[in-house]
Amino acid sequence: MMLVNGQPLDSVSALDRGLAYGDGLFETIRFLGNDAPLWGRHMHRLLTSCERLHMPAPDPHLLRQEAQQAVGNQREAVVRITVTRGVGERGYALPSATVTTRIVAAFPMPSVASSIYRDGIRLHPCQTTLADQPLLAGMKHLNRLEQVLARAEWNDPAIGEGLLSDQHGHAICATAANLFAVVDGVPVTPSLERCGVAGVARAEVLEALPACQIRDLSVAECLGASELFLSSSIRGILPVQAVGDTVYAPGPVTRAMQQHWRDLGFAMEQA
């Protein structure tokens, strides 16, 4: 079920700036029936990102109505909300009067094997590195070719994610999740001032783990960590089992965050 500007449609204008320039933002939100425990965090990121892109912000109440309409009576669903700068003339200049396009679509929850929550996910160390661009860092915008190229680096279905680093040897994130490490007993997540997407699940973990440091994290530190886990608004907390040939066992911080996720109401197979 999909709504485009509130109408049950499955297409958008071929002149939409979302398509022409990737000029827009998106959120992917896990719904449990009518409930979406991280909704407020998704809206916060969407609205602050609209401001950074000089784009009129959509009405969160309207988005919520449309999201629930898209979910219908499904017990669980993933809702993707896309907001673009709308139809524009040729050229990069902002339209004189912007009418944003909003696309609200519900998809089935992807299945995650219970062994992933129990034993962990395997990561491919990506050769694709993320460019430094402070003006875009943190936002979930529609310019995602770096992630597409990184994800194209492996085909092995036993590998579930990729470890992405920047051009200075810092670990940043996975292709579609954020990264946490436990280094010398202290939880750490990479600083996302120059690249990467600041996930809503990451924000939730940071609030649940006030001792967590946000700082540059070298790939070497990451490989030497005692625990490594990913956070995703859709898949929850995923222990990392291996990055290439380096192996990890899920530890107490990872298990505590999985429990926190269950307390939010998100089903994850018993770890």
* Site for its own copies contains 82 (CB under 8 A): yes
* Site for its own copies contains 176 (CB under 8 A): yes
- Spell out the alpha helix ranges (H) of 22-121: 39-52, 60-71, 114-119
Kind of pairing between the strands at 178-183 and 227-232:
antiparallel
**Minimum distance from CB of 89 to its own copies (Å)?**
8
Query: How far is it, in rounded angstroms, from Cα 257 to Cα 196?
Result: 21
- Spell out the alpha helix ranges (H) of 72-216: 114-119, 145-151, 200-208
Residue list 127-146, contact with its own copies (CB under 8 A): 128, 131-133, 135-136, 141-146
Query: How far is it, in rounded angstroms, from Cα 111 to Cα 134?
Result: 34
92 token code pair: 């990069």
- Helix, strand or coil for residue 76? strand
Type of residue numbered 6: G
Nearer to its own copies, 197 or 225 (CB): 197
Nearer to its own copies, 15 or 247 (CB): 15
* Site for its own copies contains 27 (CB under 8 A): no
Nearer to its own copies, 167 or 224 (CB): 167
Cβ neighbours of residue 191 closer than 8 Å, sequence gap 6 or more? 214, 215, 216, 217
Among 1, 12, 208, 264, binds its own copies (CB under 8 A): 12
Among 1, 32, 94, 209, binds its own copies (CB under 8 A): 94
Residue list 44-73, contact with its own copies (CB under 8 A): 53-54
176 token code pair: 């579609």
* Site for its own copies contains 15 (CB under 8 A): yes
User: Which part of the chain contacts its own copies (CB under 8 A), choosing from 61-69, 87-95, 223-231, 261-269?
Assistant: 87-95
* Site for its own copies contains 99 (CB under 8 A): no
Nearer to its own copies, 78 or 268 (CB): 78
The C-alpha angle with vertex 194 and arms to 208 and 85, in degrees rounded to 5, equals: 90
- Helix, strand or coil for residue 199? coil
Residues near its own copies (CB under 8 A) are: 2, 4, 9-23, 26, 28, 53-54, 78, 80, 82, 84-85, 90-94, 103, 105, 107, 110, 128, 131-133, 135-136, 141-152, 167, 175-176
